[in-house]
Amino acid sequence: MTDATGNLSHSPGTPVLEVRDLVTEFTTDEGRLRAVDGVSFALHAGQTLAVVGESGSGKSVTSLSVMGLLPARIGRIASGSIRLDGRELTGLPERAMRRVRGDDIAMIFQEPMTSLTPVYTVGDQIAEAILTHRDIGRRAARARAIELLDQVGIPEPALRARAYPHQLSGGMRQRVMIAIALSCDPRVLIADEPTTGLDVTIQAQILDLLRRLQRDSGMAILFITHDLGVVAEIADRVLVMYAGRKVEEAGVEALFATPRMPYTVGLMGSTPRPGASARPGAARLRAIRGNIPSPRKLPPGCAFHPRCDHMHEGVCTTALPPLEDAGDGHLVRCARWRDIAGVPS
């Protein structure tokens, strides 16, 4: 059964975060550019929704739209709804949005060194995040910062609290970013490529940390990534984006077992599997031919059709296919998914 946003209603109660028909545009010299086009999803407490796709698919712009962090003057939410615990966030004044941001919704960015201030200690930066949203003294905020460093697994937290970002390893800096994000017990955590650039051991530790923190707090996680291997490790549900649109969504097990959209199949075929190269006769990785189109020049019909092995003239090249339920809330945007899967019409 699906809910009003076209998502599987498998979690009881009201979603903690609900996005409906989100359209995000940017003003450029060539006119308005639509980076996100009609995306909807629901996220419940304790659930992890992974949003995947190539660079330029619109996944990061979706997360920035939710956070209210679109570039001033050129970026805007043109239409749609973003609700946090039933409260509408679109159109909220910036002052009110600042109270939501970091308190109710927090975000971890890909590169900590661009988010951490180099001239302040990490303890001061965590304490400042707490002081922004909580009515407590600086000494209590400092003590809480040390507790958070310990919570995210940084050894000798009192000592590390006095360190500057450049004195920490990449993995430790990312843990500091997680500590800042968790400092006010957010209802929703948005993680935008948080493990990119980290070695596989540190990446696994960060994923384990996020799972543990989610289990302890019940927070919902919106996890933005291009890495399907990471998705398999952390997600409950997966939303696949292409050219600013949602093209497939399903539970993580269903998506990996029976991907319906040819683009999703292509992503999986181009993703290394652990130990695959070592197995005799292992299938070679296959890149998806071509490149993701510019939002300025989207192909007619299905935007993926110029790169699709199943493209059919007149079917895939004329009208944008609707999102259809392929069963059990498995949503797919493909005019030929039944033919490809051998499902009777």
pLDDT tens column, 49-101: 999 999 999 999 999 999 999 998 999 999 999 999 999 999 999 999 999 99
| Longest Cα separation, the chain | 68
Check whether residue 205 and residue 267 sit in a common domain: yes
Question: CB–CB of 78/23 below 8 Å?
Answer: yes
Q: Within its chain, how far is the Cα of 201 from the centroid?
A: 21
Instruction: List per-block mean pLDDT (blocks of 10 residues) for the chain, which spans 345 residues.
Output: 40 85 94 95 97 94 96 94 96 92 89 86 95 92 95 94 94 92 93 87 90 93 93 96 97 96 93 53 74 92 96 93 94 93 72
Q: Kindly provide the residue ranges of all beta strands, DSSP E only, lying in the chain, ordered along the sequence.
A: 17-28, 31-43, 48-52, 75-84, 87-88, 105-108, 188-192, 220-225, 237-242, 245-251, 324-325, 331-332
Check whether residue 180 and residue 193 sit in a common domain: no
The answer to the question of residue 215 being in a domain is yes
Last residue of a domain, one of 140, 168, 185: 185
The answer to the question of residue 3 being in a domain is yes
d(CA 122, CA 167): 10
Q: Containing H/E element for 243?
A: none
Check whether residue 117 and residue 84 sit in a common domain: no
Number of domains in the chain: 2
Check whether residue 199 and residue 226 sit in a common domain: yes
pLDDT score, position 273: 58
Last residue of a domain, one of 151, 185, 219: 185
Helix (H, G, I), strand (E, B) or coil at 40: strand
Q: Which two tokens stand for residue 302?
A: 């299905």
Check whether residue 99 and residue 198 sit in a common domain: yes
Check whether residue 270 and residue 131 sit in a common domain: no
Check whether residue 117 and residue 19 sit in a common domain: no
pLDDT score, position 114: 79
The answer to the question of residue 315 being in a domain is no
The answer to the question of residue 299 being in a domain is no
Task: Please report, for the domain that includes residue 46, its CATH number.
Answer: 3.40.50.300
Q: Which domain holds residue 37?
A: 1-104+188-274
Check whether residue 97 and residue 207 sit in a common domain: yes
Check whether residue 192 and residue 235 sit in a common domain: yes
Check whether residue 98 and residue 12 sit in a common domain: yes
Last residue of a domain, one of 232, 249, 274: 274
In terms of phi and psi (left: phi > 0; alpha: psi -120 to 50; beta: otherwise), the region of 31 is left
pLDDT score, position 1: 37
Check whether residue 85 and residue 207 sit in a common domain: yes
The answer to the question of residue 323 being in a domain is no
Q: Tell me, what DSSP letter sits at residue 47?
A: -
The answer to the question of residue 117 being in a domain is yes
Question: CB–CB of 29/203 below 8 Å?
Answer: no
For residue 135, CA distances in Å to 96, 122, 141, 145 come to 17, 20, 10, 15
Check whether residue 130 and residue 197 sit in a common domain: no
pLDDT score, position 6: 42
Whether the model clears a pTM of 0.85, i.e. scores above it, the answer is yes
